[in-house]
Amino acid sequence: MSNTTKTSKTSKPAAAVKKTTASKPAPSAKADVKQTKPEKLAPRKSILFVTAEAFPYAGTGGLGEVAGSLPKALNAAGADCRVIMPLYAAIGEKYRSKMTYIGQTNVLVGWRNQYCGLFSLENDGVITYFVDNEYYFKRDGIYGHFDDGERWAFFCRAVLESLTVIGFKPDVIHTNDHATAPVPVYYKTEYANRYGYNGIKNVFTIHNLEYQGCYPSFILGDVFGISENDRGIVDFNWEINCVKGAIESADVVTTVSPTYAREIQTRERGFGLDGILRRNASKLCGILNGINVEEYNPETNSALAKNFTSSDRSGKAECKAALKAECCFYDDKPIVAVISRLAGHKGLDLVKGLLEREALTRANIVILGTGERYLEAFFTHYGNTHKNACTFITFNKALAQRIYSGADMFLMPSGSEPCGLSQMMACRYGTIPIVRRTGGLADSIVDCRYDKTGNGFVFDDYSVEALDGAINAALDMYEKPEWQELMTRAMNCDFTWARSAAEYIKLYN
């Protein structure tokens, strides 16, 4: 059987993108579910959605998916939601050629006075503003640079300075995760009383509390430009902690699922900030993410061997046959899928332990992902030495869609999972999730063994034995008539962004 392994100082204005009456710089770097009826706003709320990444322009994962989908859903519900993000080198000419230059301003980063160009592009009903500065953003990758503190300090100040340039004063500034966490801090300490800035509310969303934007305390003034009088807002464990500052400064703090909002207030899941979160519990809430049901639609997805719906799933059999051929599976056993970053906290160490015990003999398993070297090496070796296993060490969206549509069951035994999107995507394709009860998995998957409305299988203990028990329970049901009913319920779950957008609208009001 074959397995696939793939490896996947201040900037200056440049030439114009579009002709206008005045000269202008160009972007510096070449770079079958019933949906919830949208809730209409009265009066219309204006929201500036601040993010380090957003699909389709640039993204690395869940935040990019959210930023690419939630603003569109908010606008469909009657809001005026616009996005602002950096203009990365990776943003291609397909989008750059359509951008309109708005203007430029200067941004103070400590003692530095940096150029900031502003461009806009309307796509799929959402206006996105791009913050341009080659020195900070003409680089490979979004995160992990030596001067990330300075880069994000610049971007966050640029967001607030840009309001006078773009001519858009939001009712709400909605920031996301550590990279944009300084925005509510700056607003509270410097901008709230400036002319034209009054009355703006700040909402901050924690997508993953593990990443907090921590930097040495001595750069507080030199890089972040925060005065010693305000050090207490961001100071935590003798470091600058941007997420802590946002929690203290924002009007509302949200997370990406209700269960995760409770979990991060505990010592086990709070990553040191549980005390800060408990102190601010009155402004903390969880709203479950949605997914783009148009993209993950088995009825229209061109990547599938055969399209199908919840009422006519005959095409899923063809999708399974195609996946069997691709994975070199020669029997009719159920196919269990894993599509994940290969990391211990994602529960992949449990999957490893299960396979080491040769416990998964009643099914075939296909694994897609990249991550920690020891897990990549183990799953590659296992796939090469077992006829009931196939491993793809790569990230391939089309292949992921083929796996979602062709598999029978989907494993997500996460140690922690703020929200999770893969279990929702699996449901869309009638691939039944087997998950551990944590974070958004607990909020989106109901155990069908104990609830007739259930859409999957859920286990509690973080152990190989608990995972094995849940898989065997699913395999026992697989040949029974109840399985078809379970597939129908899973495919008809409402994971649309309209549901989430309605909750955010109530929050903004």
Bridge-based pairing of strands 126-132 and 100-109 is: unpaired
Give the Cα separation of 4 and 291 in Å (integer): 28
How far is residue 2 from each of residues 5, 318, 329, 385, 399, measured CA to CA in Å? 10, 21, 11, 10, 15
Q: Tens digits of per-residue pLDDT, 3-16?
A: 444 433 444 444 44
pLDDT at position 42: 53
Q: Tens digits of per-residue pLDDT, 337-354?
A: 999 999 999 999 999 999
Is residue 242 within 8 A of residue 209, CB to CB? The reply is: no
Strand order of the sheet with strand 364-368? 4-5, 389-393, 364-368, 335-339, 409-412, 432-436, 457-459
Give the Cα separation of 68 and 77 in Å (integer): 16
pLDDT at position 25: 52
- Tokens at 112, concatenated: 């530095």
pLDDT at position 204: 98
- pLDDT band at residue 257 using 50, 70 and 90 as cut-offs: very high
Give the Cα separation of 176 and 253 in Å (integer): 10
CA 181 to chain centre: 16
Is residue 202 within 8 A of residue 182, CB to CB? The reply is: no
Assign 3-class secondary structure to 376-433: HHHHHHHHHHCCCEEEEECCCHHHHHHHHHHCCEEEECCCCCCCCCHHHHHHHCCCEE
- Tokens at 53, concatenated: 């990444």
Q: Tokens 């999708």 identify what position?
A: 319
Give one word for 405, left, alpha or beta, with left for phi > 0 and alpha for psi -120 to 50: alpha
Q: Tens digits of per-residue pLDDT, 426-446?
A: 999 999 999 999 999 999 999
pLDDT at position 38: 55
**314-493 has the same fold as 9-31+43-292+498-508:** yes
Q: Tens digits of per-residue pLDDT, 70-127?
A: 999 999 999 999 999 999 999 999 999 999 999 999 999 999 999 999 999 999 999 9
473 CB-contact burial (10 Å; exposed 0-12 / middle 13-18 / buried 19+): middle
Q: Please give the helix or strand (H or E) that residue 503 lies within, else none.
A: helix 497-508
Residue 82's identity, in one-letter code, is R
Domain 9-31+43-292+498-508 has CATH 3.40.50.2000: yes
Class of domain 314-493: alpha beta
- Tokens at 375, concatenated: 């897990």
Residue 281's identity, in one-letter code, is A
The end-to-end CA distance of the chain, in Å, is 57
Ordered by start, the domain boundaries in the chain are 9-31+43-292+498-508, 314-493
Give the Cα separation of 453 and 326 in Å (integer): 34
* pTM more than 0.75: yes
Q: Residue 314: what are its φ and ψ, rounded to 5°? A: -60, -35
